[in-house]
Structure 1
Amino acid sequence: MSLATLRSRWKFTNKIGQGGFGEIYSVYDNEKKEKVAIKMERIDRNKRALRLEISVLRKIQDSRFAAKFISCGRNTEHNYLVMELLGDNLSTLKKKQLQQRFSLGTTIKLGIQMIASIEDVHEVGYLHRDIKPSNFALRLKKNITTRNNIPLETCCIIDFGLARKFNDSEGKHRPPREEVGFRGTPRYASLNSHLGKELSRRDDLWSLFYVFIEFLKGKLPWSSIRDKQKIFELKTQHTTVELCNNLPKEFATMFNYLSSLKYEDLPNYKYLRRLLTDIYHQYGYNENTKYDWEIMEESLNSQRSSSSSKVDSTIALTGTTKELSRHSNKHIIGNYSKDFDREIKNINNLIFPDFKKKTSEKNNNNSTNIENKDKELINQDFILHYNQNKDIETESEINEFEKMMKMINVEDNTETTTQLNIDNHKGCCNIL
């Protein structure tokens, strides 16, 4: 297809995504005078998912957690969907964090919205069947207003290519099929999906539970495993004790509640949200609590401003940019100053204060184990992580990252290099 057929209204700027479904572009809407997103799917594709996605998206337009549907259509080569342009997905945001995980406050704020968004999808009669961090994306700040007098939330549920209608024309739950096959993403799929059973509303919530554990701990016990059968075996071995260790007791309660749900049961979404809300208030969070990325951005902006002031002072005193060049080179190779190292630690303290404090108060006898656990999370092997996620990083980027880390260790000779902010798209250290 020639993309020029859509340029009478939508001017294509750049590709922002690609997968088995097709391609996603950022485009400028000449009629609305704003940037939007377009999903393209070839007509000759064997399995067409875009028609289903359009159907579900249009049905949940009253949801506070749905991206705005703008238009859809077909030309000689492609089906297309025009929708609201969203920001980073939660998988990308998590990898950008200093410790490759979210704080308790951010996890709870997101979790409440994620449960509500899944409930909205279920209310229109559909299962999502592929709940994972990359299928939730942030709404751009300029779009967080209202639609149809409904206040919009930060987090949107996306990608309904694997969705399935679970009720019949009379609104009754459809009986399970005998043979279904695996549906979803192995890391987050429920045990029922691994067993080839028909999925229901409880299974979307099981996937979300695994997402919560990954958010808080940085990874799941099977995150490094590719084999689907081995992942299934590990899931059966890890009970609530192993998965919820060192987490607020409400997560174990959630595990037990989901275990009690049967195929046709209507989950108590309000109860699940209340579990998270109880944690939120218990640890002193409130409506002014900021997301981790907001705290990091503010702190790094402050550091940039401070560094800029120091550079200006150096130029004023010496009348030369030689010191500026030396300072910049240090940041390029990752050999940062003690002041910056202190700033990175301050950001960690800002993001992870209450959870560590409360956990320590509740588990005085295990404080040493918890501290070691945190250190293990902080000093995780990034190289291994990238090699195990080749869909995220190319081999050349991994090699470049390894070289950069060796250079940093030689230059710094410190134990703080893993505190760096890792740029996961380039596989190198991004100090500023």
Structure 2
Amino acid sequence: MTKETAIQDESNPKTTQIPKNEEKSFANKEVLPKMKKIEGDEPSHLQLSEKFLKRWSIEGLIGKGGYGEIYLAVDIVKGEEVAIKVEPKKRRGKLAKRMILEQHVMFKMQGKPHVPLMYGSGYTDKINYMIMQILSINVGDMKKSNPNKRLSQCSVGRIIHQSITALRDLHDVGYVHRDVKPANMCFGIYPSSRHTLILLDFGLVRRYKMENGEWREQRARAGFRGTTRYVSIRVHRRCEQAPYDDMVSVMYTAYELLSGELPWKYLEKSEEVLQLKEAMTENGVNPEFFKEDKSVLIDFFKVVSEMDPGKAPSYEQMIECIKVLYAPKTLTDPYEWEENQKNGEDTSQEEN
């Protein structure tokens, strides 16, 4: 049995379609998703060259995690590349609900600039799936691919600006993300989308406010959700997550992208990570953590860490604070990976 849901109508004005003249014109060749080797002895939900649902030809594996896999596929009707995310319908004998929730939230967010375009979703006898816009490698991998293993102040400022905007859109519809990190951020790969940051992986979202705008009653002790390196001090203490906690994760993301790594990168125990996070901001922002190039983040850390977790974040204040990192450039100016690609092409032409 197969069920498909919500294949988007191309006449829908809220759906951002890829311009026809851009379909084969990649803007950022250096950040295109990389194929991963599919080991012969590893179980795979989809097979290379398989015609999934008689519509999408599976070209390769571009991502794999504990919850599922992401494949590169080609729409054999339109000739366009897409990403297909799949997860098993059952995990440990129970019906998997992670992607079901993710589908619901992503469809609710369609029309917003910082979520992937969705072309359809559904399930077969064995898997749940979503068919989405193909995107770049994630921001964390962009950082790793740089020779100095960090991003420029200008790039970080614009990434964080767009992250705040993306999360504001999510919070506006009543959800917190709960897993904000560089690995869950990408960019478009076509000329019209190459400067637009896309927030990914809505599998851990939780509704924090009702349709009428009232916040849900908080649990006395919440389960741990997120990635230890990026969660707030409150999450370590098992507090209910709110929009504030997403913004703290953005704060840590900014630090990692700019400096190359967080101070607790090599710590394995959650308690030790918590202690360093407390030392960084618990009693005001500690300047010992913000020497040299990291000093530009002090004001941003102050703004975020001093916010009231029980209230909506001051998004505009955070954006104004982070703009100083990239002024006088704008959000539409080229990023460093584009400039690196152009410089490489110019050098190649000179050698020829």
| Same-fold status (TM-score > 0.5) | yes
Q: Structure 1 residues 103 and 250, CA, compared in 2 at 3 Å: closer, same or farther?
A: closer
Q: Structure 1 residues 31 and 142, CA, compared in 2 at 3 Å: closer, same or farther?
A: farther
Match in the other structure for 1:133: 182
Match in the other structure for 2:36: none
Match in the other structure for 2:329: 285
Deviation, 1:58, is: 0.7
* CA deviation string 1:249-287 (max 9, x = no partner): 663222222222223211111111111223432xx4346
Q: How does 1:11-410 map to 2 (within 5 A)?
A: 11-45=57-91, 46=94, 47-142=96-191, 144=193, 154-239=196-281, 240=285, 241-247=287-293, 251-281=297-327, 284-286=328-330, 289-306=333-350, 308-309=351-352
Could you state the TM-score of these two structures normalised by the residue count of structure 1? Answer: 0.65
| Counterpart pick for 2:56 among 10, 35, 38 | 10
Deviation, 1:296, is: 1.6
* CA deviation string 1:351-370 (max 9, x = no partner): xxxxxxxxxxxxxxxxxxxx
Which structure has the larger Rg? 1
Q: Which amino acid aligns with 2:106?
A: L
Q: Which amino acid aligns with 1:180?
A: A
Q: Which amino acid aligns with 2:234?
A: N
Q: Distance in 2 between matches of 1:288 and 1:80?
A: 33
Q: Distance in 1 between matches of 2:120 and 2:186?
A: 20
* CA deviation string 1:156-208 (max 9, x = no partner): 00001111111124321112101212211111111011111111000000000
* CA deviation string 1:294-334 (max 9, x = no partner): 1222222233334x43xxxxxxxxxxxxxxxxxxxxxxxxx
Deviation, 1:80, is: 0.6
Q: Which amino acid aligns with 1:130?
A: D
Greater shift after overlay, 74-83 or 43-52?
43-52
Q: Which has the higher helix share?
A: 1
CA RMSD between the two structures:
2.0
Q: Structure 1 residues 79 and 158, CA, compared in 2 at 3 Å: closer, same or farther?
A: same
Q: Is the 8 A contact 1:11 1:27 kept in 2?
A: yes
Q: Structure 1 residues 196 and 288, CA, compared in 2 at 3 Å: closer, same or farther?
A: closer
Contiguous gaps of at least 5 residues in structure 1: 145-151, 310-432
Q: Distance in 2 between matches of 1:2 and 1:214?
A: 35
After TM superposition, which residue ranges in structure 1, 4 or more long, deviate above 4 angstroms? 1-5, 247-250, 286-289
Q: Is the 8 A contact 1:27 1:38 kept in 2?
A: yes
Structure 2 SS opposite 1:38: strand
Q: Is the 8 A contact 1:244 1:251 kept in 2?
A: yes
Q: Distance in 1 between matches of 2:332 and 2:203?
A: 35
Structure 2 SS opposite 1:16: strand
Deviation, 1:2, is: 6.6
Could you state the TM-score of these two structures normalised by the residue count of structure 2? Answer: 0.80
Q: Distance in 2 between matches of 1:71 and 1:143?
A: 22
Q: Is the 8 A contact 2:195 2:331 kept in 1?
A: no
Deviation, 1:243, is: 3.1
Q: Distance in 1 between matches of 2:46 and 2:274?
A: 44
Q: Distance in 1 between matches of 2:254 and 2:290?
A: 10
Q: Is the 8 A contact 2:59 2:73 kept in 1?
A: yes
Q: Distance in 1 between matches of 2:296 and 2:77?
A: 48
Structure 1 SS opposite 2:62: strand
Q: Distance in 2 between matches of 1:28 and 1:185?
A: 32
Q: Distance in 1 between matches of 2:211 and 2:77?
A: 38
Q: Is the 8 A contact 1:113 1:153 kept in 2?
A: no
Structure 2 SS opposite 1:27: strand
Q: Is the 8 A contact 1:213 1:244 kept in 2?
A: no
* CA deviation string 1:121-158 (max 9, x = no partner): 111111000000010011112552xxxxxxx9521000
Q: Distance in 1 between matches of 2:138 and 2:265?
A: 19
Q: Structure 1 residues 62 and 304, CA, compared in 2 at 3 Å: closer, same or farther?
A: same
Q: Which amino acid aligns with 1:257?
A: V
Q: Structure 1 residues 188 and 2, CA, compared in 2 at 3 Å: closer, same or farther?
A: closer
Match in the other structure for 1:385: none
Q: Structure 1 residues 87 and 2, CA, compared in 2 at 3 Å: closer, same or farther?
A: closer
- Work out the number of aligned pairs and report it: 299
Greater shift after overlay, 51-60 or 259-268?
259-268
